[in-house]
């Protein structure tokens, strides 16, 4: 069953790619189920499942008795944002914390519809199963585990994480891994290991606000390099920034970037790693959405192309398995020792029962089955929200079409200030993440990030209609 699930997803992915890059154009008819089945060498049921998925994603639509047609590009789907204008990036002192903290407060209220949330829908995770595993693990736990699990962390868990890298063809061993209190701590430890106050650090623009907050806290200056909404950071602009400034590090999300959802193609990742290596600049690679791909395979991280040990790869189980457990990790390459010690002297170790439970869960199997179901559900929810953007937002609104993760980035037409929209929406019980949260400059005023990871139920639909109404009124 796991097998056929994977096959139909692979097919759906290929077709979605063909649609996205224009090989299959709007209004075009898809091959019949019989044709596709023969051509691909898969069962008719696999094709049916793939078509159902694409339909749920809003990419194709069935017409009575005549088959499936591509809807992409029609009125129901908003166009993608334009690539960024090439401006030369400048370094900037960071001061975003207040607006971010206010925003975070608002999404903690359960009665608020969480379009602005950074967190995945907790209902998507096997919390009960994890609880069972934790319960049986904790009862067998050797008390000395508390000492054994000190940084770099639980050996069994590091082995399980290393295994997943190895399956993807990466030579990461348990001894390369430091377990952390979530990816956020991993990223902060990596940043602390390679910077000194006053240094400059390159980030994307727009970028994850927590990166800006970390820079702010450590007294670092940000150099924001524009990112392409589909393919990530602009390498030419990055090259100029590297030549002009002497950055201490570069902090990027290479796959399903928050907030854009952009995915750097593999050749671009390879080029990125080579470029940074020429300048001797470490890359802090935030890869927390790595497992949430809608395609056939996990996209390789930049770390896969790292021959110098300069890429500090950070991952987490918070978005893929166990939100709230606070278990993440870093593979800090040549900075391993600094990061492991840094961890020891800032928080000693990661919670022992959480480490042990996740290690035991991974060992038992079932993680990949859970992930397939999770990805499927997220890709369906993306289609639902994308269609709603097309239907409810004004013409001229643009939205990214991420191939993974659970964020849309929307550009609104005209002079709309999404900070004002945020306040109005919140008064109506709806949260959004306004664009200016994602930059240390006053940029992205007309943009917002939407979380499509929560259930698309009547409440969400009504809230989205209301949000659309507020935007129309502001136009």
Among the listed residues 51, 386, 351, 331, the one whose alpha carbon sits nearest the alpha carbon of residue 173: 331
110 scored as a contact of its own copies (CB under 8 A): yes
Among 21-29, 188-196, 380-388, 421-429, which window interacts with its own copies (CB under 8 A)? Answer: 188-196
143 scored as a contact of its own copies (CB under 8 A): yes
Q: At 111, phi and psi to the nearest 5?
A: -80, -10
327 scored as a contact of its own copies (CB under 8 A): yes
Among 67-75, 116-124, 155-163, 369-377, which window interacts with its own copies (CB under 8 A)? Answer: 116-124
Of 351, 384, 443, 475, the residue at the interface with its own copies (CB under 8 A) is 351
Of 251, 305, 325, 335, the residue at the interface with its own copies (CB under 8 A) is 325
Q: Are 12 and 53 in contact (CB under 8 A)?
A: yes
Q: Contacts with its own copies in 10-39 (CB under 8 A)?
A: none
> In whole angstroms, how close is the CB of 341 to its own copies at the nearest point?
5
First-to-final CA distance of the chain = 49
Q: Could you check whether the bond before residue 150 is cis, i.e. omega within 30 degrees of 0?
A: no
Pick the closer one to its own copies by CB: 192 or 394.
192
* Cα gap 471→114, rounded to integer Å: 17
Among the listed residues 9, 95, 4, the one whose alpha carbon sits nearest the alpha carbon of residue 293: 9
Among 69-77, 282-290, 320-328, 405-413, which window interacts with its own copies (CB under 8 A)? Answer: 320-328
93 scored as a contact of its own copies (CB under 8 A): no
Strands 328-331, 311-316: pairing kind = antiparallel
> In whole angstroms, how close is the CB of 289 to its own copies at the nearest point?
16
123 scored as a contact of its own copies (CB under 8 A): yes
Of 262, 350, 400, 440, the residue at the interface with its own copies (CB under 8 A) is 350
**Helix, coil or strand: residue 20:** helix
* Cα gap 67→65, rounded to integer Å: 6
Rg from Cα positions in the chain: 22
The two tokens of residue 163 are 């295994």
Pick the closer one to its own copies by CB: 353 or 413.
353
Among the listed residues 263, 272, 213, the one whose alpha carbon sits nearest the alpha carbon of residue 438: 213
> In whole angstroms, how close is the CB of 38 to its own copies at the nearest point?
44
Residue 88 makes CB contacts below 8 A (sequence gap 6+) with: 237, 240, 241, 244
> In whole angstroms, how close is the CB of 327 to its own copies at the nearest point?
8
Among 74-82, 118-126, 296-304, 456-464, which window interacts with its own copies (CB under 8 A)? Answer: 118-126
41 scored as a contact of its own copies (CB under 8 A): no
How large is the greatest C-alpha to C-alpha distance in the chain, in angstroms?
Answer: 67
How many residues bind its own copies, per CB under 8 A? Answer: 62
Residue 408 makes CB contacts below 8 A (sequence gap 6+) with: 261, 382, 385, 386, 389, 399, 400, 402, 449, 450, 452
Enumerate the β-bridge partners of residue 128. none
155 scored as a contact of its own copies (CB under 8 A): no
> In whole angstroms, how close is the CB of 292 to its own copies at the nearest point?
17
102 scored as a contact of its own copies (CB under 8 A): no
Pick the closer one to its own copies by CB: 185 or 306.
185
364 scored as a contact of its own copies (CB under 8 A): no
Q: Are 475 and 414 in contact (CB under 8 A)?
A: yes
The two tokens of residue 228 are 């392409």
Pick the closer one to its own copies by CB: 140 or 307.
140
Of 265, 324, 366, 469, the residue at the interface with its own copies (CB under 8 A) is 324
Degrees to nearest 5, angle at CA 371 with 163 and 291: 65
Q: Contacts with its own copies in 206-245 (CB under 8 A)?
A: 210, 213-214, 217, 219
182 scored as a contact of its own copies (CB under 8 A): yes
* Cα gap 103→274, rounded to integer Å: 37
The two tokens of residue 306 are 């790292």
The footprint of its own copies (CB under 8 A) covers: 97, 101, 104, 107-108, 110, 117, 119, 122-123, 125, 127-128, 130-132, 134-136, 138-139, 141, 143-150, 181-182, 184-185, 188, 192, 196-197, 210, 213-214, 217, 219, 323-327, 341-342, 344-354, 357
């Amino acid at each position: 069953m796991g097998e056929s699930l994977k096959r139909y997803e692979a097919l759906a992915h290929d077709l979605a790619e063909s649609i996205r890059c224009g090989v299959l154009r709007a209004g075009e008819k898809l091959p019949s189920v019989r044709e596709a089945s023969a051509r691909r060498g898969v069962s008719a049921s696999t094709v049916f499942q793939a078509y159902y998925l694409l339909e749920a994603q809003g990419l194709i639509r069935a017409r009575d008795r005549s088959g499936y047609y591509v809807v992409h590009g029609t009125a129901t789907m908003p166009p993608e944002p334009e690539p960024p204008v090439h401006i030369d990036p400048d370094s900037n002192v960071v001061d975003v914390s207040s607006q971010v903290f206010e925003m975070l407060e608002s999404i903690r209220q359960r009665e608020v519809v969480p379009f602005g949330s950074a967190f995945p829908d907790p209902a998507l995770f096997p919390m009960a199963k994890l609880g069972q595993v934790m319960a049986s693990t904790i009862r067998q736990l050797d008390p000395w585990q508390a000492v054994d699990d000190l940084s770099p962390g639980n050996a069994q868990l590091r082995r399980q994480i290393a295994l997943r890298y190895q399956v993807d063809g990466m030579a990461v061993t348990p001894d390369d891994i430091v377990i952390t209190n979530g990816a956020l701590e991993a990223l902060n430890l990596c940043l602390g290991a390679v910077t000194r106050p006053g240094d400059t650090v390159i980030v994307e623009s727009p970028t994850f606000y927590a990166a800006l907050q970390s820079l702010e806290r450590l007294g670092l200056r940000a150099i924001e390099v524009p990112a392409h909404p589909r393919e990530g950071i602009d390498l030419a602009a990055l090259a100029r920034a590297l030549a002009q400034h002497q950055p201490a590090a570069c902090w990027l999300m290479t796959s399903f970037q928050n907030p854009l959802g952009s995915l750097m193609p593999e050749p671009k990742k390879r080029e990125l790693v080579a470029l940074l290596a020429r300048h001797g600049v470490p890359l802090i690679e935030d890869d927390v959405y790595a497992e949430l791909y809608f395609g056939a395979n996990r996209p390789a991280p930049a770390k896969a192309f790292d021959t110098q040990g300069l890429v500090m790869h950070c991952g987490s189980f918070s978005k893929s398995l166990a939100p709230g457990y606070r278990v993440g990790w870093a593979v800090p390459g040549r900075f391993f020792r600094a990061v492991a010690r840094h961890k020891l002297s800032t928080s000693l170790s990661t919670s022992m029962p959480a480490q042990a439970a996740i290690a035991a869960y991974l060992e038992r199997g079932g993680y990949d089955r859970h992930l397939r179901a999770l990805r499927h559900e997220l890709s369906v929810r993306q289609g639902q929200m994308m269609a709603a953007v097309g239907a409810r937002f004004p013409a001229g609104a643009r939205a990214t079409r991420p191939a993974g993760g659970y964020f849309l980035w929307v550009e609104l037409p005209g002079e709309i200030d999404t900070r004002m929209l945020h306040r109005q929406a919140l008064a109506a019980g709806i949260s959004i993440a306004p664009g200016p949260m994602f930059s240390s400059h006053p940029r992205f005023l007309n943009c917002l990030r939407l979380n499509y990871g929560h259930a698309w139920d009547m409440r969400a639909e009504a809230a989205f209609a209301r949000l659309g109404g507020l935007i129309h009124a502001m136009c």
